[in-house]
Amino acid sequence: MTTRALGLVALLAVAAAACSAPATDNKNLPPVNPKAASLQSGFTTMDRLIEAAQKEGELVLVGVPRDWVNYGEIIDEFADKYGVKVTALKPEATSAQQLAAPENPDVYDLSLDVAVANATRFAPYRVLGWQDIADDLKDTAGAWSAGYGGYMSIGYDPAKMAAPASFAALLKPGTTVALPGDPIRTASGFGGVMATSLAGGKPDAARGLKFFADLKKAGVLATPDRAAALLDWDYLNMARAAAAAEQDKPELRVTIPKNTVLASHYVQAVNANAKHPAAARLWQEFLFSNEGQNLFLRGYARPVRLEAMEMRGGLDEEAAAKLPKVYGTPVTLTIPQQDAAKTYLQQHWPQQIG
């Protein structure tokens, strides 16, 4: 008998067995628990999670702008894929405002410090890719985990300046520099100050303040629209660069200075009082799936499962290749370091910078 004939016999045998085997239906499975802490414990299968979410029919978001790390496409893909309506309210709400929102969002997208401080308000849920997330980027009890992040970068106009190899290069006479916002009020502005403060991997808010005081003294601390160099997270500077290219505006290039790599991550969590608990958990599974992580990547953010996807396959390599290169060990500020730096800047930034 030929190999092809043997293969046909085997195929027929498998088909016959499949036809004769009893069908598995939901009657043989435990009841769905939409508030469970994992897919397996609450739904058993992804199909049952999808079915439960579709019965709820809606997912409510607060503080999730469509133009932030490709959330517009993420929302649309989720709604189209699962047939669940996504209601996105108050897109410009901050992390703190999300938690206080009377609209009671089903899920949260928060800064790390806010998530850590409010962990008791979240429902523990471990997504299927939980093991791929670094231990320092997830709660041991499953209350939250980082979904994506990035590094502080310099977006610069190559027609006005050479590529800066370091933050110190921005102190050269005549180079106009800007922060994207007030470091006392915005995470991006705060991150810019703290990135310039790094030395040997250690932050020092006083050193960062002096950096910008020197820029002001030299008369080159500018607004973003007038600066040759803008300090901001790489995913935001990359989005600006892409928009400039599409709109035929002056070129913007993005670089991350060597050995002064400040990292920041945004955290995903399920509201313990979510009105749509199954939809909330399906949203989490989607965000942390290869598809969801690659959608973040196309928005120039660095998905938290990037390394695992790169090793096992599934990473959008074309999108990953567009990201600025990183040289050096990334530094993530601890919560105490953040608190101390914020207190220092609140006390001294207004007097020295205004």
Residues whose CB falls within 8 Å of the CB of residue 345, separated by 6 or more in sequence, listed in order = 183, 184, 190, 193, 205, 209
What are the tens digits of pLDDT across the range 15-47? Answer: 344 333 344 456 688 999 999 999 999 999 999
Q: Is 44 left (phi over 0), alpha (psi -120 to 50) or beta?
A: left
What pLDDT score does 20 carry? 39
CA neighbor of 267 nearest in space, from 117, 70, 50, 65: 117
CATH topology for 37-149+265-321 is D-Maltodextrin-Binding Protein; domain 2 (3.40.190)
- The full set of domain ranges for the chain reads 37-149+265-321, 150-263+324-352
Closest to 46 (Cα-Cα) out of 278, 290, 291, 304: 278
Rounded CA-CA distance 255/111 in Å is 23
Q: How far apart are CA 108 and CA 231, in angstroms?
A: 26
Residue 27 pLDDT = 67
Locus of tokens 């410090």: 113
> Which parts of the chain register pLDDT below 50?
1-24
What pLDDT shows up at residue 29? Answer: 87
- CATH of 150-263+324-352, picked from 3.40.50.11810, 3.40.720.10, 3.40.190.10, 3.20.20.70, is 3.40.190.10
Residue 121 and residue 55: Cα distance in Å, rounded? 25
Nearest to 175 by CA among 158, 187, 152: 158
> Could you say which DSSP state residue 183 is in?
T
Same topology between domain 37-149+265-321 and domain 150-263+324-352:
yes
Contact 264, 119 (CB under 8 A): no
